């Protein structure tokens, strides 16, 4: 009886929330469906609502919106899962990327938005703990919540329909082919979308095909630390587990047995022959188990041994009409194209084909931009869309990063907003300078480290000497998306240029840093490795913030110099610019700076000197930076350079660092 009473009370509370919101939303949202439903031991109000023409235009939506009502004081991720389930089962009646959640968790707004972002869903939270905004205020609140969401910013691999662009049919086609005993590859520069395609194929295969999928993530320590025999044994173990438990998918686990490779190959062969389902091996980050592995020397010798025995297994099972397929994903094509390895015929040559994940077709890039921009309340003209695609060389990750930068630098209150081509061009130049060039430099560095022959040919192409580059390597570089043929009429077939401004600036950075001291100490690398299994991701993050800090430091030098120069010029009673600046590092009595100009002295300032100078002359800079205490705190955070010193740090430290950088960058950008 008590349980039923509690249930009735909860239903009344939820219905009360819905009625209260309906009154507040009168004129902008028309409820077309409303009821109370249960999901995972939780009770929710579920409503569908048709937005007014004005709200639909503000939110850039053309279907009904899902609304969930929850009175939990502490929101859980199941709320987002329920929203996703309702949208998926609505048969396209509801907007697939936007949902409104009315709740009573005072700390819930950020949680709900973050969880939604992970599933490709823009959550518009409305806190109903006190009062609910009404009418125009509610409309402005919903628009702000939507447009403050960054739909461009996806850091990890994607595979769902909401985030997967340009390669859907390609992934579906590969999934079908892998049912028929084929060997395929996804080779390409980092962040081109290889793992996203692999994940998409696995999801497609699990959903639509009866087979056994074995995942071999070679970037995992336990995988690249194994030798050829152990890896083959671990693949066999994973197949055994799938067959025993009647499962479709299994990732390999470490095998420490001291077995002969021939015995492991025989065991694997027997398992495949006895299987009543096709076996598909998915091998990601294969560069970690090649002779140029950045982490293990074992694979200098074991690479050929592994592929020679896997090739023998593959050929034998085909003779018995059994099915073994393989998808290999990685950066370097080098070890699948080499004729010999240490004087021995390369077993992977002609067995593993060279197939590349190239940049998106221009049409797919533009379509992705249009759809994502719509959910950010931004509209680009055709020239703007082409410009973003061109600058970013149609690399999907770079296109997203550039668009995310434009989103962050555009005022939210004025959206929906059409951006003029001139605005887009200016913001793109800023992006390349602040972030883009570093992204490309990291990608090129990684490529050259695992496929070092390409470096000299890229340099030749950058010097307009592509005609002396072997045709094979021109083809490889074009497939990687590093070079392209100029579009001008009458250009000879042998002419190539570096693709996109971001790639050109990234190559310049790479060449500048070739002879510089390595940024990471061994202790830092060790720490990074414990924080993340993918060192490359952290290296990229550190390179980005290092470049942003250096650019900010240069701008601070110029801004502080100009402000003090102007102040000295306007007030003749004040000391000279050189005297005021030099006081920070010892004064004009210091012989090293006694005869230097103010411009020359400021160039000697490091980060600490600059922050001291601005703090001392705070009356000049108060309007620029606002709160002096916050400014000094940000400067201290930025000066704590864990990328250059062996200091402990974690994800939270990185977030704080980026936030401090952004605050100062935004202050300078207003000048």
Residue-level pLDDT at 520 = 37
**Dihedral through CA 95, CA 98, CA 99, CA 104, nearest 10?**
-170
Question: What φ, ψ does residue 93 adopt, rounded to 5°?
Answer: -75, -35
Distance CA 254, CA 662 (A): 42
Instruction: Using the structure block, give the residue that is written with the tokens 């500048």.
Output: 512
Residue ranges covered by each domain of the chain: 2-148, 168-345, 376-513, 522-669
pTM above 0.75, yes or no: no
pLDDT band at 535 (very low <50, low <70, confident <90, very high): very low
248-299, pLDDT tens digit by residue?
999 999 998 888 999 999 999 999 999 999 999 999 999 999 998 888 899 9
Angle between helices 607-616 and 535-570 (to 10 degrees): 40
Pick from 417, 415, 419: nearest CA to 140: 415
Task: Give strand pairing partners of 184.
Answer: 327
Q: Is 96 helix (H, G, I), strand (E, B) or coil?
A: strand
Please report which helix (H) or strand (E) contains residue 367, including its range: helix 362-375
Q: Among 59-73, 78-92, 538-552, 653-667, where is mean pLDDT lowest?
A: 538-552
Give 649's pLDDT tier (boundaries 50, 70, 90).
Answer: low
CA pair distance 588, 585, nearest whole angstrom: 9
Position 235 confidence tier, pLDDT thresholds 50, 70, 90: very high
Direct distance between the N- and C-terminal alpha carbons of the chain, in angstroms, rounded to an integer: 67
Task: Say what the pLDDT of residue 586 is.
Answer: 66
Phi then psi for 391, rounded to 5 degrees?
-60, -40
Q: Which helix (H) or strand (E) holds 31?
A: strand 29-39
H runs (alpha helix) in 209-298: 221-224, 228-245, 261-274
pLDDT digits (tens, 9 = 90+) for 99-156: 999 999 988 888 898 888 777 788 899 998 778 888 888 888 887 877 877 878 765 5
Where residue 530 falls among pLDDT bands split at 50, 70, 90? very low
Contacts of 292 (CB under 8 A, 6+ apart): 332, 334, 335, 449, 450, 451, 452
Q: How far apart are CA 60 and CA 657, in angstroms?
A: 34
Percent over 70 (pLDDT), the chain: 88
pLDDT score for 156: 54
Biggest alpha carbon–alpha carbon distance for the chain: 96
Q: Give pLDDT, residue 37.
A: 93
CB 103 within 8 A of CB 127: yes
Percent over 90 (pLDDT), the chain? 42
Q: Is the peptide bond before 416 cis (omega within 30 degrees of 0)?
A: yes
**Residue 642: DSSP 8-state:** T
- Of residues 661 and 182, the one with the higher pLDDT is 182
pLDDT in tens, 468-481: 999 999 999 999 99
Phi-psi region of 145 (alpha: psi -120 to 50; beta: other; left: phi over 0): alpha
With the CA atoms of 352, 354, 359 and 362 taken in that order, what torsion angle do they form, in degrees rounded to the nearest 10? Answer: -110
Q: Which residues contact 477 (CB under 8 A, 6 or more apart)?
A: 454, 457, 458, 461, 469, 483, 496
Of the given ranges (221-230, 270-279, 516-525, 634-643), which has the lowest mean pLDDT? Answer: 516-525
pLDDT in tens, 183-211: 999 999 988 888 888 988 998 888 888 89
The mean pLDDT of 581-606, rounded to a whole number, is: 73
497 half-sphere exposure, CB direction, 13 A CA radius: 14
Residue 575 to residue 600: CA distance in whole angstroms: 17
DSSP assigned state of 356: B
* Average pLDDT for the chain: 85
* Closest CA relative to residue 293, chosen from 224, 192, 221: 224
The gap from C-alpha 300 to its chain's centroid, in whole angstroms, comes to: 31
Q: pLDDT band at residue 489, thresholds of 50, 70 and 90?
A: low
Q: Which two tokens stand for residue 298?
A: 């074992």
- The DSSP code sequence of 288-322 is GGSTT-SS-STHHHHHHHHHHHHHHHHHHHHHTT-
Instruction: Give the model's pLDDT for residue 281.
Output: 97
Task: Provide CATH code, domain 168-345.
Answer: 3.40.50.300
- Preceding peptide of 337 cis, ω within 30°: no
Token couple for 187: 């080779």
């Amino acid at each position: 009886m008590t349980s039923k009473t509690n249930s009735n009370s909860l239903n009344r509370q939820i219905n009360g929330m819905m009625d209260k919101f309906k009154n507040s939303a009168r004129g902008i949202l028309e409820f077309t469906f409303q009821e109370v439903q249960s999901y995972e031991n939780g009770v929710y109000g579920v409503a569908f609502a048709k937005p007014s023409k004005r709200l639909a235009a503000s939110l850039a939506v053309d279907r009904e919106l899902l609304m969930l009502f929850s009175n939990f004081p502490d929101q859980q991720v199941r709320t987002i899962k329920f929203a996703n389930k309702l949208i998926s089962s609505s048969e396209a009646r509801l907007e697939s990327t936007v949902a409104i959640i009315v709740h009573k968790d005072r700390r819930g707004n950020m949680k709900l938005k973050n969880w939604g972002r992970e599933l490709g869903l823009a959550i518009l939270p409305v806190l109903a703990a006190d009062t609910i905004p009404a009418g125009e205020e509610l409309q402005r609140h919903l628009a702000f919540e939507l447009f403050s969401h960054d739909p461009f910013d996806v850091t990890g691999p994607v595979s769902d329909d909401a985030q997967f662009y340009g390669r859907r049919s390609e992934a579906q086609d590969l999934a079908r082919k892998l049912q028929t005993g084929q060997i395929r590859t996804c080779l390409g520069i980092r962040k081109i979308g290889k793992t996203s395609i692999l994940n998409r194929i696995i999801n497609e295969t699990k959903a639509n095909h009866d087979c056994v999928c074995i995942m071999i993530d070679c970037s995992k320590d336990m995988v690249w630390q194994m030798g050829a025999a152990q890896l083959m044994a671990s693949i066999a173990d994973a197949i055994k587990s799938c067959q025993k438990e009647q499962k479709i998918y299994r990732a390999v686990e470490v095998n420490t047995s001291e077995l002969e490779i021939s015995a492991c190959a025989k065991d694997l062969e027997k398992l495949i022959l006895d299987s009543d389902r096709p076996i598909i091996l998915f091998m990601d980050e294969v560069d970690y188990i090649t002779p140029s592995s950045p982490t293990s020397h074992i694979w200098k010798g074991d690479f050929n041994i592994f592929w020679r025995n896997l090739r023998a297994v593959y050929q034998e099972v085909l003779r018995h009409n059994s099915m073994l397929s393989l998808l290999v994903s990685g950066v370097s094509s080098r070890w699948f194209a080499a004729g010999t390895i240490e004087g021995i015929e390369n077993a992977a040559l002609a067995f593993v084909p060279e197939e590349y994940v190239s940049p998106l077709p221009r049409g797919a890039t533009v379509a992705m931009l249009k759809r994502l921009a719509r959910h950010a309340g931004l509209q680009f003209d055709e020239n703007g869309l082409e410009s973003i695609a061109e600058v970013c060389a149609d690399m999907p990750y770079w296109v997203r990063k550039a668009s995310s930068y434009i989103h962050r630098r555009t005022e939210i209150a004025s959206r929906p907003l059409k951006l003029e081509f001139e605005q887009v061009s200016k913001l793109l130049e800023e992006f390349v300078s602040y972030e883009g060039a570093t992204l490309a430099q990291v990608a090129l560095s990684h490529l050259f480290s695992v496929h070092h022959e390409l470096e000299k040919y890229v340099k030749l192409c950058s010097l307009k000497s592509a005609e002396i580059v072997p045709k094979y390597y021109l083809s490889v570089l074009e497939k990687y998306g590093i070079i392209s043929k100029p579009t001008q009429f009458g250009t000879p077939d042998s002419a190539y240029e570096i693709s996109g401004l971001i790639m050109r600036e990234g190559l310049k950075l790479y060449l500048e840093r070739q002879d510089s001291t390595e940024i990471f100490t061994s202790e830092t690398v060790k720490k990074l490795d414990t924080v993340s299994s993918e060192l490359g991701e952290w290296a990229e993050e550190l390179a980005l913030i290092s470049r942003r800090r250096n650019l900010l430091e240069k701008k601070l030098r110029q801004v502080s110099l100009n402000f003090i120069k102007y102040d000295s010029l306007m007030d003749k009673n004040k000391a000279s610019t050189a005297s005021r600046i030099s006081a920070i590092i010892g004064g004009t009595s210091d012989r090293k700076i006694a005869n230097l100009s103010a411009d020359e002295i400021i160039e000697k300032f490091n980060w600490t000197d600059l922050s001291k100078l601005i703090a001392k002359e705070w009356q000049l800079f108060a309007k620029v930076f606002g709160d002096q205490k916050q400014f000094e705190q940000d400067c201290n955070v930025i000066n704590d350079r864990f990328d250059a010193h062996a200091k402990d740090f974690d994800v939270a430290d990185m977030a704080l660092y980026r936030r401090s950088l952004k605050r100062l960058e935004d202050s300078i950008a207003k000048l």
